[in-house]
Structure 1
Amino acid sequence: MTADRFHRALASLRGLAVGDALGSQFFVPANLPALKRRDLPPAPWQWTDDTEMACSVVAVLAAHGRVDQDALARSFAEHHDFDRGYGPAVGRMLRLIREGGDWRELAAALFKGQGSWGNGAAMRIAPLGAWYAGDPEQATHQAEISAYPTHQHREAVAGAMAVAAAAAVAAEADGAAVTRERLLDEVIPLVPRSAVQAGLRRARDMLDYDDATTVAAVLGCGRRTSAHDTVPFALWSAARHLGDYTGGFWTTASVGGDVDTTCAIVGGVIAAAGRGAPPAAWEEATEALPGWLPAAPD
């Protein structure tokens, strides 16, 4: 493990956690008027399964220097907290892994053998992209490997690859030379042909749109919790707000949908570059990362 890689991944993880935790507050009906006014809800903000699983990704990278699928599946299962909002299929699978089940068989059997095409593999992966800053090809390779312990459908894997590539591009040289167009232009060729890739192509064509509601109506915003209904809009928003964490969050949250996940993805990608860190007050209002994460190296 190199200190630089770990610190980049940790910065992205913090951005992911803030987006996840703050975004999740807007599932509470009483907080919806605050969202329209762009006011912050009362602290503390608790993160969800998005952050819990992202912490496992960072922990495995720190321990192994790459994705070890067995170690990742074990970490997901050992740290699975039912109250964090896991989907029922993945929650059941993680319980079975804890009881000795083989993740290969369990993940492959989901949804009548098709595997899950949900957005779970994408929501947790931005810190891996930050780990591989400037090397989006390797980021996509490792992201593909990381998806399989829980999500084996082509779309879910493509979604994870896209988010990891975006974070790797955003983190290059602190993101100073990365334009919105370059971000998507570098990501799209690295994503296999899929509905996710098609959505990213539409997102690239809509980069000059200012109305996020219109863009979400075309691309989706996670209402179906599928990768192809989530990742294109999230990366559209991240591309338009490189270096502007606050703007990226409010734009993403304003359209509704799977707000904690879309904001986790956007927050993780933007924060992969140091100039995109979340506001200090937002970090302070967010639940601390778990104590089982490895300490930062000197």
Structure 2
Amino acid sequence: MSFTLFPGTRLALALESLAGLSVGDALGAQGLAGPVEFHELPPGPWEWTDDTEEACCLVAVLAEGDLDRDAFAELLGRHHDPYRGYGPGAVTMLRAIREGLPWPIAAASAFDGQGSAGNGAAMRAAPLGAWHADSLAHAAIQGARAAEVTHAHADGIAGGVAVAVAAALAAAGRLDGHRPGLLRAVAAHTPDGAVRDGLLSAVRLRRPDEAAYALGRGERALARDTVPFAVWVADHFLDDYPAAIQACVAAGGDVDTTCAIAGGIVAAHTGLDGIPPAWLSAREALPPWLAAALA
């Protein structure tokens, strides 16, 4: 990567990734209530879930240099809405942060001291990766820093790293004018463990149904059974946002999260032009506090 990104460009890339993430999240969430027919989509507004809410908190604190994790944790605690689909463990942790418990203690104490191995860090990470499109290594470092605010388990952190790197690579490909392969490159920057193993296993898979069966589709709400499949989808449909979302919906499972992850990565490559305008207009508006934070 030989380009230099200025702050305005970084923010534009992050916001386009956020658009893809939030539309995927909101459309995927429609599938939780029943089958989604893409020839006749449900009327809007499509409400987004915790995936989008956490991603908005992350985008609000993006800046040059290291992520301000204290500020990020404060936003997560202040803005989280338990009715947006947060798991009970996340609600307990974020409520504790809101009430003043330091985030390192809250993250480390989750799940009886094991830390969260879930996909929360991954589902919000794509805009962070797009922001760091000029350096995969830096995207990986910042992906880990962002993940650690809520995830002390190695798998949860690895999920955040993998998605951040995938989105950085996708955005860099757009800026360089080429279509990158994601799986091996993302695995090369992902810490050893179940998430990286899943990414490497995904390289040999060819069909969405095969990938969902072999890798998992988020049904356990763990990074290890969510991130490899979502990155596989993004890798295979990097030029086609609607096809990526349809592949996640067809697979079933934790549809809003797989759609959010894949959608955020793919939109980092296609930009807003890749997202059907009707889908974008049907998505519930993003929270007004985000625009105020970025003003």
TM-score (norm 1): 0.92
CA distance in 2, matches of 1:214, 1:128: 29
1:24 counterpart (24, 29, 37) = 29
Per the alignment, residue 170 of structure 2 pairs with: 170
Whether 2:244 is the aligned partner of 1:243: answer: no
1:284 counterpart (273, 281, 286) = 281
Deviation at 1:101, TM superposition (A): 1.2
Q: Which moved more, 1:1-10 or 1:271-280?
A: 271-280
Q: Report the RMSD for the aligned CA atoms in angstroms.
A: 1.7
Per the alignment, residue 52 of structure 1 pairs with: 53
Q: Deviations over 1:156-204 (max 9, x none)?
A: 100110000000000014163124xx22221111011110000000111
Structure 1 outlier segments of 4+, above 2 Å: 274-277, 294-298
Unaligned 5+ residue runs, structure 1? none
Deviation at 1:39, TM superposition (A): 3.6
Asked if the contact 1:11–1:277 (Cα under 8 Å) also holds between the matched residues in 2, the reply is no
CA distance in 1, matches of 2:259, 2:155: 20
Percent identity between the two aligned chains = 49
Q: Which amino acid aligns with 1:10?
A: L
Asked if the contact 1:60–1:66 (Cα under 8 Å) also holds between the matched residues in 2, the reply is no
CA distance in 1, matches of 2:39, 2:85: 24
Per the alignment, residue 268 of structure 1 pairs with: 264
Unaligned 5+ residue runs, structure 2? 1-5
Asked if the contact 1:6–1:296 (Cα under 8 Å) also holds between the matched residues in 2, the reply is no
2:223 counterpart (218, 222, 227) = 227
Q: Which amino acid aligns with 1:192?
A: P
Q: Deviations over 1:81-113 (max 9, x none)?
A: 111111111111111111111211111011111
Deviation at 1:215, TM superposition (A): 1.4
Asked if the contact 1:158–1:196 (Cα under 8 Å) also holds between the matched residues in 2, the reply is yes
CA distance in 2, matches of 1:70, 1:294: 20
What does 1:128-277 align with in structure 2 at a 5 Å threshold?
128-174=128-174, 176-179=177-180, 182-206=181-205, 209-210=206-207, 212-275=208-271, 277=274
CA distance in 2, matches of 1:79, 1:295: 14
